[in-house]
Structure 1
């Protein structure tokens, strides 16, 4: 078993190492981190079962680390060791499932008791998870006894809802006299890899297990039924017809069951009470809206009602310090910072730009899944525009390649079980870094191509060079050559050739033995009068006057 000690003071980490009887707890690998950010990187690789951590650190606070653990390492148990006897810190530790909160100076008896408790809890839950998964696999071999598609039809098929509910009542799924109901949507995250791993990557089995856990709390008491909703993206719905118990208390007990079994807590979108089945479609919309507009910065809130988060967001917007134009932060406020960071090519500057944006988001007080989805769309649009700005018409292939690369590096799921600023910061930085590297590599290739093109022109300027000929010689488009000349030299292709010819003519005019007609022919002009006209336009003097000035 592995353990991780997190504290920005080396002496505290050393004290914990000495005070804990690791062998007695069957812990044979002890790791250390000096900050919350470093701890996250270690946990991603080592996946320790136990984390002993400080609450106050310079880089990555204890609360941020606990939030990350809940999302990405939910099975890990953690103990807080702190020099601050702060009620809010204790409360946050409890809310995030911490085993104990120990004050410094650390006593050997207290920390060993906490470690023993944490190890026992981890082993017990690991065994529960194994047994639950085995049971779910066995149950999944049989056809579910609930008419999930019939229940879904109550929401999606209003014309046949009455006949559907009569069938469900005849089968005993819904009680006969049920005039009203309340609908709850359980937030599901199809991309949650840590949870999927518990089910061998089988998302259907994962949904089945969540439905079973929910039904343990509503079916035996006849309060309602949980089912897989088949009307759209994967969702789990709970139809309550007995609404006498507080829905907050009910979902709270469900979440305890979820956490005990899966080490994850779910979010619940809760509709108002309405007529059954007539108002179910609008109730589903209410519940979905509640989830879409929930404030992700309030980690401890798992029940979400329609309109409540929007109202609080509006209040926050009126009282918060203005950002940019005075509204809540949008990507446009930092777009120029991101652009300069990408163009700089500096990983440090790009990391700072990503962190600054996350800081702005958290300072606003409200971040919703809807805002994140809009932000993600704006970021991807910014990327496409910057590629086209830098690479012009040659950009489409690069844009398509970056979009394909997004499948390997997807953004965090905006409406998942929990929210991590760390995850969005890391995604933002990685996106900027890949974009910068791609642009640098591509412009490097273009620069190399331009050097070859210029060398070719300098060697063949006396001939009748055309834009089409040069483009064909180097297997690029006419537009590419024209655009690059304009970008690199500020003039078009034909003017560049004229400049070279005139400069060569100046050198030849220094030799008095060459006639003007010979010089014109040698630099690519077949008409001496036209040569003289162009020469004067470029230099302000005729070729004859220029030669006389040289000999004066």
Structure 2
């Protein structure tokens, strides 16, 4: 078992090493990190079972680290060691699943008790996870007995929905007295790698597991049915025909069951009540909108109801989910100039400040929704296209292709995932700006070198009477500059380079038996065929005639 000590003071890390009886807790590897950012990299690579961390650090605070651990390393247990007796810090520790909050100076008994508790909790959860995973896999190996496509047709095929309903009633899937319903969509996140790994990367198996868990709470009292919805992107839907019970209480029980099995809580988009089956199509739209407009900063809200946005961007929730109205959302134009200046500067500190400012602006209104993130991401990519085209003109396409390829390797965080981290979006925006800055800088440096333009000019005009003076004048530089730079960059004199280009072109033309030597000589810029033959033999080692014979044998 591994443990990680995170503190920006080496003496504190040393004290923790000395105070904890690692052998007694069966911890055989102790790692260290000097700040939160460094700790994240260590956790990603080493995956420690336990993190003992400070709250106040200069680079990557304890609150940020706790949030990251809770979202991306949920199996890891952590203990906070702090010199600040701050209730808000304690509350943040509890909210993010911390085992204990210990004040400095550290007492050996207190920290060993906390470590023992953390190790016990980690081992217990590991054993439970293993058992539930095996149980879930066995459950999902059984082919679902419900007609998922028939249930999906209730939503997608209004014309035949009555016929589909009659068939489902006759098969006992839906009770005959069901007249009204709610449609609920369960949030699925195909990018949640930790969760997918438990199912061997098989997303279908994961979906079946969630469906089965939901139905364990719906079937016994015939409240509704959960199924894999086939009408669009991977989704899990619930048709709830028992609309008398509090839907929030029911979803809470379902979510607790999902958490016991998968150690994740899902988000649920819940439609208004409507007639069955006629309102199902509209209800799916309402449920999808509820998920798209959920406030990602409200980490403990898992039930989301339909909402609408007025002309001023204020969120209104008419369905009684208790959310308040908020001010106008921040748009990308508010930070666009900061981004542009940072990218042009190429300074990492400026890029980091711009990324931090972006995430601050994004969250300062107290509301961040997947819909807002999608709009921001689209604006960011449009900003990048405009900046590249302004900077590179007709040469922009190649740069944009490189940047888009990098996007595939480093995608933005999933906008509508199980959880949300400003930390992850800040890192993404910094990396995107950094790649953009580097790409622009590299291409502009390359294009600002007149040698590359001169080489292209020679390639296009080798048949003409090119001279060093003429070319230098063409590009508004001195003869001496061209001569010196050409020798430095290509290791050859300018006149010899032109000769090499002409001979290479001649070698290609000699492969055409219908061209005379005199014609080829003129075509590559030699007006004297004897001089052409002399230069060719000197460079190639054989006369043009012999070279042609060799190539055409």
TM-score range, shorter chain: 0.7 to 0.9
Residue of structure 2 equivalent to 1:361: 362
Q: Which moved more, 1:107-116 or 1:294-303?
A: 107-116
Cα offset for 1:103? 4.3
Measure, in 1, the Cα distance between the counterparts of 2:225 and 2:87. 39
Cα offset for 1:418? 0.5
Matches within 5 A, 1:149-298: 149-298=149-298
Residue of structure 1 equivalent to 2:408: 407
Q: Over the residues paired in the alignment, what is the CA RMSD in angstroms?
A: 3.0
Cα offset for 1:253? 2.7
Q: Any conservation in 2 of the 1:70–1:264 contact (CA below 8 Å)?
A: no
Measure, in 2, the Cα distance between the counterparts of 1:174 and 1:109. 59
Measure, in 1, the Cα distance between the counterparts of 2:76 and 2:476. 71
Measure, in 1, the Cα distance between the counterparts of 2:447 and 2:205. 51
Q: Any conservation in 2 of the 1:2–1:28 contact (CA below 8 Å)?
A: yes
Cα offset for 1:470? 5.4
Matched, 1:42 2:52: no
Measure, in 2, the Cα distance between the counterparts of 1:336 and 1:494. 41
Q: Per-residue CA shift, 1:410-452, capped at 9, x if unaligned?
A: 111011111111111111111111122222222232233x235
Give structure 1 stretches of 5+ with no counterpart: 318-326, 457-467, 475-492, 502-552
SS in 1 for 2:316: helix
Measure, in 2, the Cα distance between the counterparts of 1:245 and 1:54. 45
Q: Per-residue CA shift, 1:256-288, capped at 9, x if unaligned?
A: 333332222211111222222222112211111
Measure, in 2, the Cα distance between the counterparts of 1:12 and 1:124. 29
Q: Any conservation in 1 of the 2:7–2:34 contact (CA below 8 Å)?
A: yes
Q: Any conservation in 2 of the 1:36–1:64 contact (CA below 8 Å)?
A: yes
Q: Any conservation in 2 of the 1:125–1:261 contact (CA below 8 Å)?
A: no
Measure, in 2, the Cα distance between the counterparts of 1:110 and 1:276. 59
Residue of structure 1 equivalent to 2:28: 28
Q: How many residues align?
A: 463
Q: Any conservation in 1 of the 2:352–2:430 contact (CA below 8 Å)?
A: yes
Q: Which moved more, 1:214-223 or 1:9-18?
A: 9-18
Measure, in 1, the Cα distance between the counterparts of 2:476 and 2:11. 71
Residue of structure 1 equivalent to 2:141: 141
SS in 2 for 1:74: coil
Matches within 5 A, 1:125-524: 125-307=125-307, 310-311=315-316, 315-317=325-327, 327-448=328-449, 450-451=450-451, 453=453, 472-473=460-461, 497=474
Residue of structure 2 equivalent to 1:324: none
Measure, in 1, the Cα distance between the counterparts of 2:443 and 2:59. 36
Q: Which moved more, 1:224-233 or 1:35-44?
A: 35-44
- For residues 96 and 7 of structure 1, do their structure 2 counterparts lie closer, same or farther at Cα, with a shift above 3 Å needed? same
Q: Any conservation in 2 of the 1:180–1:275 contact (CA below 8 Å)?
A: yes
SS in 2 for 1:93: helix
Cα offset for 1:90? 4.0
Cα offset for 1:155? 1.2
Give TM-score, length-normalised by structure 2: 0.76
SS in 2 for 1:401: helix
Residue of structure 1 equivalent to 2:500: none
Cα offset for 1:168? 1.9
Measure, in 1, the Cα distance between the counterparts of 2:330 and 2:248. 31
Cα offset for 1:241? 2.1
